[in-house]
Amino acid sequence: MHLEIGPLRVGKPRVGVALGSGSARGWSHIGVLKELEAAGIEIDIVTGTSAGGVIGSFFAADAIEHAEEFAAKYKSPRVTLSYMDFSVGTGGLIGGKRFVGFLEEYLPVRKFSELKRSFGVVATDLSSMQEVHISDGALIPAVRATVAVPGFLSPEVFGDYQLVDGGLLNPVPVSLARKLGADLVIAVDLDAHAVREKAEGVTGIMYRTIDTMMNRIRLENYKSHPPDISIEPVLHDYGFLDFHRSPEAIEEGRRAAREKLPEIKKMLHRPLSRSSRLLFNPGSIPDALRSLSLRQETGSATTGSSKETDKT
């Protein structure tokens, strides 16, 4: 419980988790979240980028077991390929229809307003070259947008917006968690233990190039929006498309979360006695950054500081 008097809020902090990008390594988010739940850590706000947005959507819907069930189906690289609808002329190697089909089958809700926890994802608008936050409207298009790795998965287009992977500008969305009201933010950083390796092949070089840029941006973002605690799974030899290795990624997520539990519990037991508004300064976000609401019935998008009701 907490008491709010004007800008001052006293009592239990709102806890947010910021789930980072990482492709197949994103399975480790399942392990982290399940370990936090098992330890009695109550999560109020969830934000995610790319793979973190996918797993975060299931957790916010109280359906993390659905994501784990789907992960268990990946037994080999051949299964991974079966979920890829290779396409030409769509702006990416993969069209994305099969990914949307997975979300429609396993994710039990369709709108942000139906989720059990506050949730938001980060995407990048190629048209304006700006970061956008989506926490309202249609859920599945938003999740599909945040995973659209340029060149691999075709962009999600809404009106003038051409949305791709949010990891290009905000790989670990701590700032969005603050924006949605989190007092204490636990980051799950899948790139904290990157190793030196030589990229091979055209696709290998392309994705290594993207990872290099994202890594620098991640470190720069931490300077202005540092998390209170960072959980850092170690998955050195886990490849971009190693989705069939979910058991070890989930277990590593559990291990990494357990390692930080004493620190998390210590912080949670400190009474909150500061202005929650001081924890996140909206002025530190560029004016060009927009909050995007996707309206499912028309395929249109609206922007602004206030939420717009999703009509169905």
User: CB of 215 within 8 A of CB of 51?
Assistant: no
Is 50 annotated as catalytic? yes
Range 247-264 burial, b when 16+ CB lie within 10 A, else e: eebbbbbbbbbbebbeeb
Is 165 annotated as catalytic? yes
Write out the two tokens for 103.
Answer: 């979300």
Write out the two tokens for 177.
Answer: 């968690």
142: left (phi over 0), alpha (psi -120 to 50) or beta: alpha
Q: Is 150 exposed, middle or buried (0-12, 13-18, 19+ CB in 10 A)?
A: middle
Task: State the Cα–Cα distance between residues 207 and 34, nearest whole angstrom.
Answer: 29
Residues 44, 136, 165, 191: which is the catalytic one?
165
Residues 21, 23, 28, 50: which is the catalytic one?
50
- Catalogue the active-site residues: 50, 165
